[in-house]
């Protein structure tokens, strides 16, 4: 497995990480705990060193899973987790006002202490603010994490779905190692200024949903249905009409994959890896064969010609459907 360094932070991780959320939260019922522990440990054997979780996933159960799985391998891995929601309110309450944010400095410190226990570790390698809290100045958030870093409880500071000016303001108080944003061939907003800002400041990008929440694997079509416990059942981009309209993007990936003797998922990940040397996607999976398939993307080389061909074809495809319901979309880009 190749390694990558997040910008100027010195944080070195495997070129692909593993997003662990879906093992216990958001994509249907929680999966079998022992099977997921085995999968996480197999990922380490395959060379994956970067694991992503958050207190809100479950809540709490995903951190506990990741902590138990990685405790015997702690010195080999980098663990990222997140604060920023009020977990006293069910995070799945997407209706009405949606999830409740809380990034008050005293809350951040409480969350960090609780996360350390659940993760069975004495230091969090990368601690992200999960969503920007408009009621708390980002300077106060960065200052709180800076104090945790000075206390030896956190190594690096990250932001998720933050706007460009917020990233700049936070970085001025405590250097930001990584920004985690959705980025893939079917969601390219980071190209509208964020990538340039991160390059300027020396910050890594961690794309979540790099396979379009499963869509870019080619495993779905307009007849695909989602259980009510599956987050995708609430997303405009996963209606039958949108799935049908967006199939052209999967067809594009499939045509490139056929030339490269690869899969659509591998081409989608290879495309991301080819964008910048400081980009580290974190595809999630609960299946060993998918884990191996994703890891295989690291070995695929897309030439400038390939990338130009993909971009030219993708530019002709208008992706249909919003990625989030309005309340959740309002929490991004602040």
Residues annotated as catalytic (active site), given as ranges: 57
Distance CA 151, CA 172 (A): 20
Distance CA 229, CA 41 (A): 27
From residue 259, how far is each of 32, 242, 284, 296, 306 by CA, in Å?
A: 37, 27, 26, 16, 10
- Phi/psi for 124 (5° steps) reads -95, 125
Specify whether the backbone of 98 is left (phi greater than 0), alpha (psi in -120 to 50) or beta: left
Distance CA 329, CA 326 (A): 5
Longest dimension (CA), the chain: 54
């Amino acid at each position: 497995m190749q390694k990558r360094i997040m910008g100027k932070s010195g944080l070195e991780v495997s070129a692909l990480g593993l997003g662990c959320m879906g093992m216990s939260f958001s994509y249907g019922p929680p999966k079998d705990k022992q099977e997921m522990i085995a999968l996480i440990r197999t990922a380490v054997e395959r060379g994956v060193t970067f694991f992503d979780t958050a207190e809100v996933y479950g809540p709490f159960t995903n951190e506990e899973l990741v902590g138990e799985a990685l405790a015997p391998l702690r010195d080999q891995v980098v663990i990222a987790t997140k604060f920023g929601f009020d977990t006293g309110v069910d995070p799945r309450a997407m209706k009405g006002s949606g999830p409740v944010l809380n990034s008050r400095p005293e809350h951040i410190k409480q969350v960090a202490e609780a996360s350390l226990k659940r993760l069975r570790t004495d230091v969090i390698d990368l601690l992200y603010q999960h969503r920007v809290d408009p009621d708390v100045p980002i300077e106060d958030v960065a200052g709180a994490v800076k104090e945790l870093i000075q206390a030896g409880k956190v190594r690096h500071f990250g932001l998720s779905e933050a706007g460009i000016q917020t990233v700049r303001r936070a970085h001025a108080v405590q250097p930001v190692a990584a920004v985690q944003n959705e980025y893939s061939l079917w969601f390219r907003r980071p190209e509208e200024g964020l990538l340039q800002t991160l390059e300027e400041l020396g910050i890594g990008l961690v794309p979540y949903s790099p396979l379009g929440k499963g869509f870019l694997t080619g495993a779905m079509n307009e007849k695909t249905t989602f259980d009510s416990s599956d987050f995708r059942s609430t997303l405009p981009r996963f209606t039958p009409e949108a799935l049908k309209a967006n199939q052209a993007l999967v067809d594009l990936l499939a045509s490139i994959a056929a030339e490269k003797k690869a899969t659509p998922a591998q081409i989608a990940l290879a495309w991301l890896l080819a964008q910048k040397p400081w980009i580290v996607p974190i595809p999630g999976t609960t299946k060993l064969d998918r884990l191996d398939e994703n890891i295989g993307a690291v070995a695929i080389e897309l030439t400038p010609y390939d990338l130009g061909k993909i971009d030219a074809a993708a530019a002709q495809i208008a992706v249909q459907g919003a990625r989030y319901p309005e309340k959740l979309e309002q929490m991004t880009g602040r």
